[in-house]
Structure 1
Amino acid sequence: MNSIEIKSNNETQGVLKVGFATTDLSSIDSHFGSAKQFVVYEISKLSTSLCKIVKVTPKQTDETVKALKGIDIVYFTNIGATAAAKLINNGIFTIKYKEIIQIDKEVEKLKEMLNTNPPPFIKKIVEKKVA
């Protein structure tokens, strides 16, 4: 397992770190347990940036959860109950899409939420980072 650092956002308050399980770096198209990589973005009211690509070994749930530490939200197409519990217990919010979704559209949706009226789970993440 390894990470490829791309860019770091200098903002610290109100920045969401979001990971997407992906095979092609552009779509949310992988089951959590069989994912080989997660692309991670930093998203704020003002900017979005590709932060890093986290390479993982499929079916190694504990190692994958450890590699995703520090990420606020992770997206995937499916997940087992045990893996979901491990993510939640590590403070990572989980979002499952049954269909394949484009990452750039989801990133824009999150940025728009931050600039309008974010849902309670997003507000909680942002407030936790400010405190």
Structure 2
Amino acid sequence: MSLPTRQLCVIDERHAESLLKVAFATTDRQGVDQHFGSARSLAIFGVSSEQQHLLSIVEFGDLNQDGHEDKLASKIAVLQGCIAVYCRACGGSAVRQLLALGIQPVKVAEDARISDLLSALQHELQEGPSGWLAKAMARQHQGEGVGRFDVMEAEGWQE
């Protein structure tokens, strides 16, 4: 498995819980310009209808689109908690693995800017999410409920 070569995490716990996490395959931190499988870096943002924050940047070594799937594991691992990853392209195996974990791969046009994509996502959150975003948010809320019941069970029951 090809591990990240560098990772920058911006620590700001005040907002992290209420933000949806989305990732972008990018080399310049401005535009989405990478195929997911061979992406040299991922920028992960937290977004809500009112705000957006850079959460982390993860850099990988040079990776080729050679069909070796072990490189996918490290990329998918850093996407834990993300609802989507925006990229120029994504291979079939990666799409299956991402969807199985509840992460929506989003293919974008060649000139897609991260700031524009974040603004569009915020607009959709303000107007009421639809399509993949609504499904991703529903999955996220279902996951929150599971932990709540575990806590209740651990507390025990008294009559």
- The count of residues paired between Structure 1 and Structure 2 equals 130
Q: What are the within-5 Å matches in structure 2 for residues 27-106 of structure 1?
A: 27-57=31-61, 58=63, 60-106=71-117
What is the CA–CA distance in structure 2 between the aligned matches of 1:113 and 1:7, rounded to whole Å? 26
The answer to whether the aligner puts 1:25 opposite 2:29 as a matched pair is: yes
1:44-89 deviations in Å (ceiling 9; x for gaps): 0111111110223435111111121211100100111011111111
- Consecutive unaligned residues of structure 1, counting only runs of 5 or more, are none
Q: Are residues 98 and 45 of structure 1, via their aligned partners in 2, closer, same or farther at CA, if it must alter by over 3 Å?
A: closer
Q: Percent identity?
A: 26
**1:39 offset after TM fit, Å?**
0.5
Kept after mapping to 2: 8 A contact 1:72/1:91: yes
Q: What SS is found at the alignment partner of 1:28?
A: coil
Q: Are residues 11 and 68 of structure 1, via their aligned partners in 2, closer, same or farther at CA, if it must alter by over 3 Å?
A: closer
With structure 1 as the length reference, what TM-score do the two structures score? 0.89
What is the CA–CA distance in structure 2 between the aligned matches of 1:12 and 1:124, rounded to whole Å? 19
What is the CA–CA distance in structure 1 between the aligned matches of 2:129 and 2:8, rounded to whole Å? 30
- Consecutive unaligned residues of structure 2, counting only runs of 5 or more, are 65-70, 143-159
Q: What SS is found at the alignment partner of 2:82?
A: coil
Kept after mapping to 1: 8 A contact 2:30/2:115: yes
**1:97 offset after TM fit, Å?**
1.6
Q: What SS is found at the alignment partner of 1:26?
A: coil
Q: What SS is found at the alignment partner of 1:23?
A: coil
Structure richer in helix, relative to its length:
2
The structure with the larger Rg is 2
Q: Which has the higher contact order (CA 8 A, sep 6+)?
A: 1
Structure richer in strand, relative to its length:
1
1:15-67 deviations in Å (ceiling 9; x for gaps): 21000000100000001111011101100011111111022343511111112
User: Residue 10 of structure 2 is aligned with which of 2, 6, 9?
Assistant: 6
Kept after mapping to 2: 8 A contact 1:78/1:98: no
Q: What SS is found at the alignment partner of 2:42?
A: strand
Aligned match of 1:118: 129
Q: What SS is found at the alignment partner of 1:114?
A: helix
